[in-house]
Amino acid sequence: MARRGTLRHLLLTPSRNRHPNEVAPGVHRLGTPVVNWYLIREGDRLTAIDSGLRGYRARLEDDLAAVGARLDDVEAVVLTHSDGDHTGMAATMEQAGARVLIHRRDEPTLRKPGPKGGEASPVHTLPWLWRPVMLRFTAHLLRNGWARPVPPKEIELFDDGDALDVPGHPRVVHTPGHTLGHCVLVLGDRGIVFAGDSLCTWNPYDGSRRGPQVMPPPANVDNAAARASFDRVLELEADLLLPGHGDPWRQ
């Protein structure tokens, strides 16, 4: 019998989807305990902020139904960055009629996914692989299609400071470091910041700390820029931070 800690066990263990919940009026958190994505509701119109992993597609209709929506209600997918755990269902939503938007510096890696460069070289990840949390996190990514991305066909670009013409009208704040084009999305009238991976409130590499923190160094293409962007996010006026990994932060 395989031990619970083996990669084989982790790869064959089904994912647990989190029941979608409303974290603020008109804003829903979806995904799993490992990876978050979000919906902004404006009347009957929806914007997805990020889109989780490709394997989450199996429960997409059920998750949308749980918040009273259908797939064709999603008018736009706004991506904080081009990593596969944030872009996995973008092509699915595009096929149902949604626009897909991303910062122009992450367009090349969205169109042609591959290993991250800079300080995020896979070599720098090796010392972390013995950690049980990192092993489980990696197994979850692999089991849910992280290594088999399907890029969207049509991509719209935005820049720092843009107010996007999508439901909710989030404002773009460029926060490079995790990727070159990483951005956070701000709902100023609701006091909400969708933080992507500019920060996490649960460290997916070792699970040791809770609360806002910079993503682990091997995850970032430029760690100095990531730290500067983290400070920029904490200076934004907001009542609620919604990260890609970890629980909402209201303090």
Determine phi and psi for 236, rounding to 5 degrees.
-70, 145
Is pLDDT larger for residue 141 or for residue 128?
141
Average pLDDT over all residues of the chain: 91
pLDDT digits (tens, 9 = 90+) for 134-185: 989 999 999 999 999 999 999 999 999 999 999 999 999 999 999 999 999 9
**Quick one: average pLDDT of 87-92?**
98
Residue 115 has pLDDT above 90, yes or no: no
Residue 181 near residue 105 (C-beta atoms within 8 A): yes
- Given a contact cutoff of 8 angstroms between Cβ atoms, the answer to whether 132 and 147 are in contact is no
- pLDDT at position 46 over 70: yes
Q: Report the pLDDT value the prediction gives residue 19, as an integer from 0 to 100.
A: 73
Domain map of the chain by residue range? 7-15+22-243
Q: With a cut of 90, say whether residue 22 has pLDDT above it.
A: yes
Tell me the CATH architecture of domain 7-15+22-243. 4-Layer Sandwich (3.60)
